[in-house]
Amino acid sequence: MEGHLSRLRTSRPPPASGRRTRRLSVLSPRTAAGQVFLLQSVIVVLLVVAAVASIMLQAGRDAVRQGRRESVVAAQSFANSPGVSLALRSPDPTAVLQPRAEEARKRAGVDFIVVMNTDGIRYTYPYPSEIGKKFVGTIEPALEGRTVVEQAGGPPLPTGEGTAIQAVVPVTDARGRIVGLVSAGITVTNVSRLWVPQLPIVLGVGAITLVLAAAGTTAVSRRLLRQTRGLAPTELARLYEHHQAVLHAVREGVLITGEDGRLLLVNEEAKRLLGLPADVQGRHVQELGLPEQMARVLASPEKVTDQVYLTHDRLLAVNKRPTFPEAEHAGSVVTLRDTTELAVVTGRAEGALGQLKLLYEAGMRIGTTLDVERTAQELADVAVPRFADVVAVDLLDSVVRGDEPTTGGWRHLLRSAISGDQRMLPVYRLGEVITFSPETPQMLALEQGRGVLEADLRQAHGWQEQDPERARRALELGVRSLVTMPLRARGVPLGLAHFYRTEGSPAFEPEDVAFAEELGARAALAIDNARRFTREHAMTVTLQRSLLPRGQPEQDALEVAWRYLPSEAGVGGDWFDVIPLPGGRVALVMGDVVGHGLHASATMGRLRIAVHNFATLDLPVDEVLGKLDDLVVRLDEEDDSGAAPGDEKGAGLTGATCLYAIYDPVVGICTVARAGHPGPVVVNPDGTLVCPEVPASPPFGLGGYPFETADVHLAEGSQLILYTDGLVKNAARDIDTGLDGLRRALGGAGAGERTPEETCRAVIGALKPASLSDDIALLAARTRRVPSSSVAEWDVPSDTTVVPSVRAECRTVLSGWGLEETAFTTELILSELVTNAIRYGSPPVKVRLLRGRTLICEVSDGSSTSPRLRRAETTDEGGRGLFLVAQFALRWGTRYTSRGKVIWAEQILHDGPPGPADHTPVDVLLEQFGDPLM
C-alpha cells in the first residue's frame, strides 16, 4: 500500500491517450451510445413497419372497392351487350361467346368473364378446360334479377390463384326473362400493385432517419469521450469502486491533507487508530485533539519514513509523502500502521503454523486404508490432543455399508470412532445408533452444511435436551466446549465429527470452526473414497457371485463340488460352470479373465453366457473355444474404439484363458481343449494321479490360432480336477512349486475314495495362501457311467416300411425297463424321428435309447441337414411330425457329429408331465396324418 501511494505521489497521472490503448467502437452494443442507437433503430424500424402495414391495409380496402366496381361494370356491360341473349339460346353458346368474353376481359382489365346458364354451368372461361363445370359462387340472387358481389375462390386464372372479387348479373331476353348469367371478377393478389410503388419511399425515409441517428449518436459519444479522457462510463464507475475498495479495505490508516493543513480524505482505519470522529473530513489537523507531536507531523510539509509516535496508547509507524508537486494545490499523504498489534499477529501466526502442521499430518495419517471405520478412527486420533481433548465421529449407516447417503438417514447415525479420554465424556459406545433431535447442534450442522460452535455447553440447551442425564454427567466431568462439524464430500453429507474441549483447555473460538471444517473436509474425502471402494467391492462381489453357479444342475454323469475364493485386492474374472448337454453328457468349464474389478467380472459374465449359448448349440469343444476367442477379440476392439482420445489403447480387456471339456458317461470319454489355461489333473479310483496331455493353445485375444482337443478315457469313479492359476501361483511361490503342492494334496492314502467335497476341502486347506492376491477357483468332478443295461441301440434299414418294427422294438425295450406307461409317447416320438431320418436323411440310420434321470431317444443318420419345426396348414398332408415331438417331449434338438447328425428328444420319467389322456394306438393316430405306409 505504501509503495503504491509513493508512486502516486511522485508521478503525474498518464495522459488520456495512454490510459486506453484499445477502444470499443462508438456504436458497439456494449457502449451507452451504441445502446441508444440500438433503441433509436428499433423505433425507426417499428415506424417503418407501421407505415407499410397502414399502406397495405389502405391499399387493400381501395383494391376491394375498386375490384367490386370494376367487376360489376364489366359483368353488366357484357350481359347487356347485343347478341348475348341470342347466343345463349344458340346450339353452341361456347363457340359464340368464348371469343367475345376473352376479348371483353382483356379490354376491361378484369381477370375473368364467365357466361353461364341458369344452372350455373360455365359457357366461357379463360381456361377452356374449366368450361362445362359448375360455377363457384352465389347465383340465386342473380336468378331473381339482382346483382351479386362477393369474394370467393375458384379455379386457376391467368393471373394466378387467389381470392376473387366477382360480380354476378342476370342476362335477360327481349321479354325480360332471365336466360343466363354473367360473372366478372378480379383477384385480390392482382391489386397489390396499388401499394407496391409507395414502398421504396417509406423505406428510403426510414434509412435516412437511421443514418442521421447514427451520425448524431457518434458525435455526442465522441464529445463525451474527449471530456472523460477516453474512459467509458463503466470504466469510470469501476475506477471509483476500486478506489473506494482499496481505501477502506487496507489495514493501514490513510490521510490526505491539503496545503492549508485540512483533511481532504480519511479512511476508516485512520479514524480507528487516531480516535477521530466520523465528521472529521474538512477540519484542520490542529483541531483534532491529537498529541502535539502527531499534530505537528501531520501539519508539516516534510517527508517522514517509518517513524514511530505514541498516540492514545498505540505505537503508530508513520510514513508521509507529498502529493503531486506540480499540482495547483499540493498536499500530503500520510499512512499509519499499528505496531502494537504485531505481537498479536505473531501469536496468531504461530497458531496458524501449528494448524498447518496438523493439517499436513492429517493428510498423511488419514486415509491410509480403504476401510470406512478405520478412516474415521484416524480422523479422531489426529485431532487429539493437539486440537481437541475428546473426538467422536458418527457416520450414516448407509455410508458404513458403502451405499449412497440420503437425507432420510440424517437422524440415525452410527458411532464409528472415539479418541481421547472417554472418562471425561459419557459418550455413546462404538457401533451404537444415535438418534439426534432437531434442536441439537448436530442436526443444525447437518441441515446448514457447516460447523456449529457451542463455546459454553452449560448454555447449550439443545445439546442438553438430547440426553439430559449424559449431558449432566459430561458437565460434571469438565466438558465445556464443542464444535460439531458435518463431514461432506462432493456435496454429499456422510456424517458428523464432534470436537470437545474440557476445563483445562481454552474454549473453542470462531476461528477454530474454520480449521475444523478444513480438517473435516480432508477426512470426508478419504471417508468417501473408502465408502466408494466398499460399495464397488460389494457390487463386484455381488456381481461375481450372481454370475457364478449357485447350485448343482440336474445331471447323472458327474458328482461335482467347487470352491471360489475372491482376492483381497478386488474380485477378479475367474469362473467355472457345469452345463448338462443332450445325450446325458456334461460340459465342464474353467476360465480366468485377466484383471480385477467390475470390468473383469462383467467380462467374465459375458464369456460365461457365451459358453452357455455355444453349449446350447452343442458345438464341438474346439469350435467353442474358437468362437470364444473371436468374442474376446471383438471385445478388445470395442474397448479400443470406445476409449477417449487420451486413454491408453488396450487398457481394458487384455486376455482370458479357458479350459472346456465334455464328458460322455455312455463311453466314459472326456474331450478336453484349453486356451492358455492350466491342464486338468485326473485322480484314478486307485488313488494314482495322471496329468493328461492336453495340447496347449494360446490364450483368448490373440486370434487366428487353432485349438486342439484330446480324448481322455476316464474310469468310473475317477475325479477330474480343474483349477485357475491363482491356486498354484502367487507372490510367495512359483507355478512349479504350486503344482507340486497340488499333487501332494490330491495324492496320499485314500485319495481315490474321497468325495469331490472332501477333495476341494483338502486342496484349499493345503494351498490357500495367507493373503489372496488373485482369485482361486477349483472344481472337482467324480465320473459316473451309464450302465449297459440302461442303453439300447440298434441299426435301422433305410426303408419306411420298417418303422412299425422300430416301434415294436422300442416297446420291448421299455417293457424290459419297466417303463410301459411311457411307451405310447416314446413310440410316437421315435416314429416321427425315424421317418424323417429315412425320408430326408442318408444312411446309416441308428436308434439309441438312454434311461437315466430322463428317457432320451436319439436317431442318427449320415446327413447334416437339420429339420425345422413349423406349423402345417390344414390342407398339408405332412409337416406335423416335429410338432408332435415338441408337444410330447420335454425338450428336443439336433447335434452334429463327424459322421452326420443326431436328433434327440428327452422325456421326464415318473413325476414328469402326463402323457395324452386317451391311449389311442400309435398306428391309428399316425393314420390320421395320411401316411398309408405307416
**315: β partners:** 310
Question: Residue 309 contacts by C-beta under 8 Å, 6 or more apart in sequence?
Answer: 291, 293, 294, 297, 315, 316, 318
Give whichever of 251-255, 561-565, 727-731 has the largest mean pLDDT: 561-565
And the C-alpha cell for 898?
A: 463327424
The CA distances from residue 860 to 578, 700, 857, 865, in Å, are: 26, 34, 10, 11
Grid cell 390463384 in the structure block, residue: 161
**Dihedral sign (CA 128, 129, 131, 136):** negative
Say what the pLDDT of residue 781 is.
Answer: 94
pLDDT of residue 650: 44
Tell me the average pLDDT across 82-103.
Answer: 86
What pLDDT score does 12 carry?
43
Residue 315 has pLDDT above 90, yes or no: no
Place of cell 350481359: 79
Q: What is the mean pLDDT of residues 628-639?
A: 83
Predicted confidence (pLDDT) at residue 248 exceeds the cutoff of 60: yes
Question: Using one digit for the tens of pLDDT, what is the confidence trace for 343-390?
Answer: 555 555 556 677 777 777 777 878 777 788 888 888 888 888 888 888
pLDDT at 202 over 80: no
| Per-residue pLDDT reduced to its tens digit, 156-200 | 777 666 567 888 999 888 888 888 999 888 876 554 555 667 678
CA distance 255 to 247: 10
Closest by CA to 167, choosing from 238, 73, 242, is 73
Residue 4 confidence class, pLDDT cut points 50, 70, 90: very low
Q: What is the pLDDT of residue 426?
A: 60
Residue 434 near residue 415, CB atoms below 8 Å = yes
pLDDT band at 408 (very low <50, low <70, confident <90, very high): low
Answer yes or no: is pLDDT of 880 > 70.
no
Residue 900: what pLDDT? 87
Helix segments in 841-902, DSSP class H:
881-888
Three cell numbers written together for 304: 517522514
Asked whether the beta carbons of 189 and 165 are under 8 A apart, the reply is no
Strand duo 178-187 + 164-172: pairing: antiparallel
pLDDT of 5 reads: 43
Compute the distance between CA of residue 581 and CA of residue 763 in angstroms, rounded to an integer: 28
Give pLDDT, residue 434.
82
> What is the pLDDT at residue 344?
55
**pLDDT category of residue 918 using cuts at 50, 70 and 90:** very low
Q: Which carries the bigger pLDDT value, residue 575 or residue 241?
A: 575
d(CA 461, CA 456): 10
| pLDDT (mean) for 815-844 | 87
The per-residue pLDDT for range 95-132, each reduced to its tens digit, is 888 898 888 888 888 888 899 988 889 889 888 888 88
- Report d(CA 605, CA 612) in Å as an integer: 11
DSSP alpha helix (H) spans, 324-426: 342-365, 372-383, 397-401
For residue 862, the tally of other CB atoms under 10 A from its CB is: 16
Instruction: Tally DSSP H helices, then E strands, for the chain.
Output: 25, 31
Mean pLDDT of 491-509: 86
Q: Is the peptide bond before 698 cis (omega within 30 degrees of 0)?
A: no
Sign of the CA dihedral with 839 first, then 844, 850, and 856 last: negative
Confidence of residue 881 (pLDDT cuts 50, 70, 90): low
Residue 36 φ then ψ, to 5° = -65, -45
**Range in 326-335, 645-654, 655-664, 674-683 the model is least confident about:** 645-654
At 665 the pLDDT is 93
Q: How high is the mean pLDDT of the chain?
A: 79
pLDDT of 422 reads 66
The more confidently predicted of residues 906 and 223 is 906
pLDDT digits (tens, 9 = 90+) for 768-785: 887 777 888 999 999 999
Q: List Cα–Cα distances, 321 to 287, 335, 488, in angstroms.
A: 22, 9, 52
Residue 464 has pLDDT above 50, yes or no: yes
Q: What is the mean pLDDT of residues 283-303?
A: 80
**What pLDDT is recorded for position 750?**
80
Contact 563, 776 (CB under 8 A): yes
Q: What is the pLDDT of residues 123-142, one digit of tens each?
A: 898 888 888 888 888 888 88
Phi, psi of 877 (to 5 degrees): -85, -25
Q: What percent of the chain has pLDDT over 70?
A: 83
Predicted local confidence at residue 663, as pLDDT: 95
pLDDT of residue 759: 92
Task: Tell me whether strands 891-897 and 900-908 are parallel, antiparallel or unpaired.
Answer: antiparallel
| pLDDT for the residue numbered 312 | 72
Query: Strands 710-713 and 719-723: what pairing?
Result: unpaired
CA dihedral 820, 825, 829, 835 (to 10 degrees): 80
The pairing of strands 696-697 and 112-116 is unpaired
pLDDT of amino acid 933: 39
Query: Which of 301-305, 310-314, 637-641 is most confident?
Result: 301-305
Q: Which cell numbers in the block locate residue 402?
A: 458403502
pLDDT-based confidence at 674, cuts 50/70/90? very high
Grid cell at residue 408: 432420510
Q: Is the pLDDT of residue 929 over 60?
A: no
Which range (14-28, 741-755, 878-892) has the least confidence? 14-28
The predicted model gives 224-236 an average pLDDT of 70
Euclidean distance between CA atoms 855 and 726, whole angstroms: 40
Measured CA to CA, the distance from residue 832 to residue 851 in angstroms comes to 20
Q: Mean of the pLDDT values across residues 445-473?
A: 85
Cell 485314500 locates to 750
What was the pLDDT predicted at 6? 45
Per the model's pLDDT, the better-predicted residue between 29 and 648 turns out to be 29
Strand partners, 334: 255, 320
pLDDT of residue 622: 92
- Element spanning 761, H or E: helix 756-767
Most confident of 8-22, 272-286, 648-662, 832-846: 832-846
Residue 485 pairs with which residues in a beta bridge? 497
Please give the Cα distance from 670 to 119 (Å, whole number).
99
- Angle at which helix 823-840 crosses helix 803-816, to 10 degrees, equals 140
Task: Give the pLDDT confidence of 688-723 residue by residue, as tens digits.
Answer: 999 999 999 999 888 778 899 999 999 999 999 999
Nearest to 903 by CA among 809, 834, 803, 817: 834
**What is the structure's pLDDT at 549?**
75
CA distances from 357 to 260, 347, 383, 384, 470 (A): 54, 16, 12, 14, 34
pLDDT of residue 875: 44
pLDDT of residue 625: 93
Does the pLDDT at position 538 exceed 90? Answer: no
